Structures are given as structure tokens and as C-alpha cells.
Amino acid sequence: MEAKSKALSALLHRTAIDDHEEILKACSTALKTSKGDLEILYTRVIALLKLERHDDALAAIEEGGYQLKEKTKVERAYALYKTGQLEEAKKLAKSIGDNRGARHVEAQASYRSEDFNSASAVYRALSEDKQSEENDLRINSSATDANLEWSNQGDLVEKKKHSREDLELFETAYNAACASIARGELQQGGVLLKRAHDTTDLCMSNEDLTDDEKEAEVLAIRVQQLFVLSSLGKGEEARSLASNISTERLSDASTVKVAQNNAIAARIDQSNPHLNRRLLDAKANLPATDKLFKYQEGVLQQNSLSLDLQAQKPQSVIKTTETILNKAQPSTSPYINALSVLNASAHAQGELANFGLKKILPLFEKRPVDLGLAMTIIQLYVLTNNHGSAINIMDKLINHLSKSAKPSDQDVLHAPGLIALQVSLYSSQNRRSQIRTTLARAASYWRRKSKAPTSLLQAAGTTLLDSPEPEHQAIAREIFSILHQSDPASRLATAGFIASHAQASPSSITETDLSALPPLSEQIQGIDIDALEKAGVLALPNVPSTTISSTRKRQLEDLQKPKKKRIRFSKRPKDFDPDKKMDPERWLPLQDRSSYRPSRKKGKRKEGERERTQGGVAGGDKMMEKGGEVVKGAEKVGGGGGKGKGKKKGKR
């Protein structure tokens, strides 16, 4: 065994130290006479890895047997990582134990599998032990933080502000720029990108990098600059930069893909959607070791579907999106909800407002828990100023989610963004009780979670603190107790804690809590009272409390008075006098008005009609009863024909 190793050493001495092909040939020659030699097999594996023949390295390890597998655990984990078998690589690297090389492989495999939180934890642990790869750890840690921001996990990032050390290397400056852009700080990101570009110019003379590697570094910065310019609305500058981006010489397939997408997006308003679709599909197959991240793939797919909509291919968009949506669960994922919006747009076929709603509303009956579809319908209702129907759609979505017992559905039901939308819709209708109920329900759900959204708890506690309901007051006290305990330095949490416990349990408020708030003199310092009065601020008069209460009562009565309605010009009569008070009963029929009185002539006319009734007794109302007989009064009644003969006066 020792003689074989000496023979191998003699062979290796005759080769150049960097010529791994010669080393591999020497190992193959030695293995013909010394099969199973562990040292030769191990050297062969290292040579294959150096030549980036990772599949051949894995095959060589499998052929070498159990002893070689045990000796090459780190190398095998690295080969698994380079061939895209990320989960196997992470599992094997974790099982190795306290080995710095294995920790690096674990972090890299976690990073490529988009487990950025685990990768960040590994890099932090490696950074605690200062070694020669300190710069590499800084670069990789900053890249991990940037991807946490891009993947909407920015709350896990410990370092939000860049330091002076981050600007020393173009890699760390570029990563800091990416993190700022992901947080929406576009101006800051643009400044950092310029700094990264300047430092890249300095490293272009570095002989350690090949020409392709230098060009790849510059291209990555230009692609991000193009994204920033497009996001800021600087179309002309973005198109000018896009025309200067060349990707022919680059081997970094993922960077080329992103560059093509951003260049197409920069000139999308003045080009052919069919041609853009063809350009976007170019070089679609990426190698396993250079895949795009999921959030990047989602954006590229959305752009592809948007181009299909512009090219009048709605059925293709419907088929593609429904294949994914039918398998998806209720989620707050931007990717899933963006596909829902594209699906609704394809069904609406470019129609907006009421015409689009008629085509989209039947979809909501089929997918009542589709968050993206519900948001689209609500947005269309809001655009048509129909907040009541928007609230009805929101209530239907909430009711369907409430019936589910899945923990994931409950997280969606109480998602801070969805709660904020509910509060906004209820505020448009001044539904204060529903706002309090919604916030109380969400706060009751999240306050028992380990990672509760602080902004939601603050909004809920502030709103419920003004509620007259004792139950809401109790929830507010518990919320501010949790916030004050988790962050005693927060003035908002301290002020809420004092306000919520002032009446219920004043003994729980300490002097430290009171001293943490600024005194009233500091808060009103610098306020010019005379200037406020001159600007129109009314001062409270020096009157007794009874007068103040009566004044407030009159103010409430004035508020309760109905406002004077404005009459349209087209409905005004010719003799309309705006100063004259109009009769509020002017639209009622005459007999329904309070001023109506029936005329007397009308009653007499009815009386005469009764006398002329056929079969009745004429003058019946003037007949008198006398001596048991009915005697007719002295009223003349007209006869039938000729003139009546009367008796002559005087003697016969």
C-alpha cells in the first residue's frame, strides 16, 4: 500500500500542479495496476471536481465503495450541490458535524434552495470565528439578506443599514443596493449601484478574474440599474441603457435571462408583443446549477402571460392560470394572487367597470376563497364608487375563510393586509363598530402567536382603546402589555400601556413608564398660540360648565338638523325665489296636505242631491211630528202641469 502511494506521488510530481487533466490521467493509469487504492481514488475525485465534472465525481465516489464515501463526505455534498440535488446536499452536510467546509456547503445549498433564513444563520455562525474567508462571508451574508428582502422576509434581516465596509467591495455594495431596491428605496439603491459600478471599474484590472467574469459582474449591475430606472418612470434613460446591454459573451444564463426581460420591459410600449414573446422565450432552459429564484420565475411568467393578453390570446392565459389556480390553496402569495388577476383580466377581455364585473362575478361563485380574484372585484367596485358591493364581496370572502379549520386558511383570514383592506372599506362607510370587531378578532388571533405583526397589534390597540365596550378595553390592555413587554423603549407601546391601565389597574404603571414619555411642556414647546388663533383656531370661552354643556347641546342639535338640499336649475319653476321658504308638502296631493279644508258648498250640494233621490220623501228632513201625525212643513212643492187654481179672497 505504501509502495503504491509512493508510485502515485512520483507520477504527480511529474505533472504541473494546476494541470488537473494530467493528474486525472495519472490516477487512471495508476488505478489499472492498483485497483481500490483509497488515496488514488480520492485524488481522482478531487481532480474531477477541479475540472467541474461533478456528475463524474459522484459516479467515481459511488464506484469507490464505503471507505471512499466516508472519506469524501464533504466532496460528495459539494458535488450534490453543484448538480442541483440541494436537499440531499444539505442533509449530508449537516450530518458531517463540526467541519467548516461542510458548513459552507450547507449554507450554499440552503441559499440555492431559497431557505435564506437557514443560510443566514449558518453564515452568522461562521462569522463568529474569524478566518481567512472573512470577505467571502461578508459577501455571502449580504447576498442572503438581499434575497430575504426580495422574498418578502425582510423582518428576518438583522442589518437594515449598510456600513462603510459594505462600500469597500463592489460585491457588497451591489448586495446592499439590491436590499435597498427590494425594500422600495429606489433612490438609495441607485446611489449604491453607482458606487458598485465605480468599484467594479477598479477591479476590471484585476488579473484574477477572466474577461467573461468581469463582463458578468458589470452586466449584473447594469441590469439592476435598468430595473431602477424603469421603476422610477425614467423611460428614455432605461431604453438608452437597454440598448447598450450585450449578452452574447456571457455564460451566466440566469443573468442573461433577467437582462432580456428588463430590456423588453423597457421598450414594451413601442414594440410588437408577438416579437417580445419570442425574445422572452429565448434561452428558456437554464442549467440546474443556475436556476432563477421562485420570485424571479414568477415575474417572468407574469410578463409572459401579459404579453399573451396584449397579443389577443386570452384563452391561452385562462388555460395556463386555471391549471395552477385549481390546485392552489387560499394564500397571500404574490405569485398566486397575480395569476388570479391575470385570469380575471383574460375573462374580462379588456373590459372594465360594470362590463368587466359581469364577466368576472361568476368566477367568484366558483372560487369563493380566491384572494386575488376577490381583490380584483373589490377594486372594480371601488373604481365605480360602489363601496357597498365591495364590502359584500369582502364579507363573502371572510365568511368562507371562517368556515375552514386549516391553520393556513386562518393565517390568510387574519393577514394584516386583508385586515387593513377591511378597515379601509368599513371606514368609507363610517362603520365604526365593524372596524372595532374586525381589529379585535385579528388581535385576539395574533397576540397568541410567536411572530405577531407589530403594526397590526398597534393599530388594533389604538382603535380598541377608544371603544366603549369593556371587552374591547380588556383586549387593548393585553395588546399594549405585550407590546410594552417586547419593546420597552417604544414610546407608542409605553403610552398605550399607561392609557389602557390608567383606570383598570393604575398600580401596574411604574415611575419608569411615566418617565419614559416626554413631559407636556416639551410637547407644546414652540407652539405659537397667537398664530394659531389668527389662523382660525377657535379659543374656548371662559364660561361656566353649565353654559359649556348647553353650548355643546345646541351644537349637537345643529348637527342633527337636516341639511338644506340644493334644487337643480332644471327643476326650478319660473317664479322661483331662493330666499322664500318652500312648502315641504308641495309634492303631496291637496287632500293629503295639513292645510287642506273641505268647502261648505260642497256639503250643501250633497244635501240637495239627497232630496232628489228617486223614491225618497221630499223635504224629509223638515218634516215634523204633531199629534201622532206626520205633518209636512209649509214648503211649496212644484206641481205637475198647468197653473194651480187658488181660492179668491172675499165673499163668495
Q: What pLDDT, on a 0 to 100 scale, did the predictor assign at position 541?
A: 56
Task: Please state, as a whole number, how many other Cβ atoms lie within 10 Å of the Cβ of residue 49.
Answer: 21
Bridge partners, 630 (sequence order)? 625
Residues of the chain with pLDDT under 50: 1, 15-16, 543, 545-548, 603, 616, 620-652
Q: What pLDDT, on a 0 to 100 scale, did the predictor assign at position 540?
A: 57
Q: What pLDDT, on a 0 to 100 scale, did the predictor assign at position 548?
A: 46
- CA–CA separation, 201 and 227 (whole Å): 21
Helix (H), strand (E), coil (C) string for 90-129: HHHHHHHCCCHHHHHHHHHHHHHCCCHHHHHHHHHHHHHC
Phi, psi (rounded to 5 degrees) for 248:
-65, -40
Q: What pLDDT, on a 0 to 100 scale, did the predictor assign at position 236?
A: 86
Is residue 410 packed enough to be buried (19+ CB in 10 Å), middle (13-18) or exposed (0-12)? Answer: middle
C-alpha cell at 52: 467541474
Q: What pLDDT, on a 0 to 100 scale, did the predictor assign at position 538?
A: 61
Helix (H), strand (E), coil (C) string for 437-485: HHHHHHHHHHCCCCCCCHHHHHHHHHHHCCCCCHHHHHHHHHHHHHHHH
- CA–CA separation, 458 and 443 (whole Å): 9
Amino acid, res. 541:
P
CB neighbour list of residue 373: distance below 8 Å, 6 or more residues apart: 340, 341, 343, 344, 360, 363, 364, 367
Q: What pLDDT, on a 0 to 100 scale, did the predictor assign at position 202?
A: 62
CB neighbour list of residue 226: distance below 8 Å, 6 or more residues apart: 238, 241, 242, 245, 259, 262, 263, 266
Q: What pLDDT, on a 0 to 100 scale, did the predictor assign at position 629?
A: 46
Amino acid, res. 606:
K
Q: What pLDDT, on a 0 to 100 scale, did the predictor assign at position 635?
A: 46
Q: What pLDDT, on a 0 to 100 scale, did the predictor assign at position 641?
A: 44
Long-range contacts of 421-426 (CB under 8 A, 24+ apart): 421/375, 421/378, 421/394, 422/394, 422/398, 423/459, 425/378, 425/387, 425/390, 425/391, 425/394, 426/391
SS3 state of residue 618: coil
Question: Which H/E stretch holds residue 641?
Answer: none
Bridge partners, 624 (sequence order)? 631
- Please state the pTM of the whole predicted model: 0.68
- What pLDDT, in 10s, does the model give residues 574-599? 777 777 777 777 778 888 788 888 77
Q: How distant, in Å, are the alpha carbons of 113, 223, 224 from that of 182?
A: 19, 14, 11
CB neighbour list of residue 88: distance below 8 Å, 6 or more residues apart: 80
- What pLDDT, in 10s, does the model give residues 623-648? 444 444 444 444 444 444 444 444 44
